[in-house]
Amino acid sequence: MANRRIGRRPLLRGAVIGAAGLVGLAGCDDDSTTKPAPSDPTGPTEPTGPTARTGPTDADWKALGSDLDGTLRRPGQAEFAAAAQLYDPRWDGVHPAAVVEAAAAEDVATALTFATRFGLPVRTRSGGHSFVGASIVDSGLVVSTTALDQVDYDAGSQQATIGAGTQLIDMYAGLDADGRTVPSGACPTVGVSGLTMGGGLGAEMRAYGLTCDTVRGATVVTADGRIRRVDADREPDLFWALRGGGGGNVGIVTSWVLATSSATDIGMGILTWPSSAGAAVIRACQQRAATAAPSEFLTVHLSPANAGAEVLTVLASLTGDARPEARTLESAVGVAPASESYATHPHLDAVQVLAGCPNGGLERCHTPPRGAVPRSSRVSGSDVLTGVLPTATAQALIDVVGQGGPSGGVGILLIDILGGAISEVGPAASAFPWRGASSILQWYVTTDASPAVDSAARRWVASGHTALGAASQGGYVNYIEPERDISTYYGPNYDRLRRVRSQYDPDGIFDSPWSAPRG
């Protein structure tokens, strides 16, 4: 079917089969930038952009609302709390002056012009999953793209126009109706825009590239209120920055044009290993970054267990059968897995298994009504690795996880294997710099959002960084940490991103602790 439009909450077909009990293997992350919230002790909350002028009056806000095709939400209104709510309850104490729920790019332009006039800090929201509360700010204006959720597929070009607020499960389900997909993340309620702007890791990235590698064009509103349609030929610097430079740097994207791929059946395997073999498993999987076929995805899942760390390897094969890769991996490890299970899933079912949806429970993967998203507080971090870790360093990671994480929280570590199509793109071709990496580590701690537990969780993540030492080349921008220098997320692309920021946001409308400094 051509030019097919799917709106919010499309009907999902089929049921998840096999792999019962598998938890989501990718964190529910989104990326954009903002000030730390008052409950976050890591930084200030005052605006760092243009000097504030006299604040808007009630009449000014009313005029803004009348200028929008979308909706303006103000404190005290029935829908305001839901409009301002993020995935993580940690940020419930942050109170923006208003939320603009944009219905079109023109609403975004109107909102930015209003914010500039009154010197209001601006934050943008797609899915609202940022680990640092990057979609909200005290006394500022939040521009929400959640209503921009169209999925338009064109069979002639095999490209899809995806609204910036589309949640991943809706994108997958909409494209699946035409037998197509886009390589993207696992968490079903993450917004496509933030994930894409940071890069976009997922189970099909070794075959089809990162989500940002599929971008063929975008509609973006820059700080001056201009609506720009960009691609490789039109405003190439801006196009470059949107693909891996992170959200909240150069503008607010309202829609993407993405190249699609065939949505094939996926063979999955889950292998458990003795904790004593953990270092060998990590090293063997990293070796496969350079040698495995692009059709093969591998991730190592480490979590605390009674006898140290539980070690899982999750395989996803676009051939439809994960067993051949499992046998190759077993040979490289030199130890047989303690257990293994396999299943072949239709594409959309596999997506939901990776998202952690249990058998018979697919309703958990539907886009829920606003304000009904299952919520969780997490502290996260990341490391980028090249090559294969020495055995001692790999064992140090096992030891960190085996400690059980901080008191009051459970710490886990995911190691996603890169290579394949990711490494076929030069590091300067887009703002995402880690093309030669063998793996990206993702540290997660689920907490109760209390300051004491959060601080302990950050210390635990820091202990993981310490265990890696010089082996870590940097971090993944969709997992920004408050204590980390922003330059470490961009590597060799940092200076160019700063120049692009200066070009498109000379007055610092989007300035925040998480944006690349202008320069």
CA dist 204 and 296 (Å) reads 8
Domains defined for the chain, CATH in brackets: 4-17+149-262 (3.30.465.10), 266-489 (3.40.462.20)
Residue 495's CB is within 10 A of a number of other CB atoms, namely 12
Whether the full predicted model's pTM is greater than 0.85, yes or no, is yes
DSSP sequence for 246-296: -SSSS-EEEEEEEE-EE---EEEEEEEE-GGGHHHHHHHHHHHHHHS-TTE
Beta carbons of 453 and 409 less than 8 angstroms apart:
yes
- Torsion of the alpha carbons at 78, 83, 89 and 94, rounded to the nearest 10: -90
DSSP sequence for 430-462: SS---TT-SEEEEEEEEE-S-HHHHHHHHHHHH
Q: In the 8-state DSSP scheme, what is residue 377?
A: E
pLDDT of the residue at 53? 53
CA dist 217 and 255 (Å) reads 9
Q: Which of 202, 317, 319, 318 is nearest to 271 (CA)?
A: 317
- Residue type for position 423: S
pLDDT of the residue at 447? 85
pLDDT tens digits, 77-115:
989 999 999 888 888 999 999 999 999 999 999 999 999
| Three-state SS at 159 | strand
What H or E segment, with its residue span, contains residue 467? helix 451-468
Beta carbons of 36 and 44 less than 8 angstroms apart:
yes
pLDDT tens digits, 26-56:
456 544 433 333 333 333 333 444 444 578 9
CA dist 27 and 42 (Å) reads 22
- Torsion of the alpha carbons at 283, 289, 290 and 292, rounded to the nearest 10: 110
| Residue spans of the chain under pLDDT 50 | 1-24, 26, 30-52, 359-364, 371
Q: Which residues of 20-41 are buried (b: 16+ CB within 10 A; e: fewer)?
A: eebebbbbbbbbbbbbbbebbe
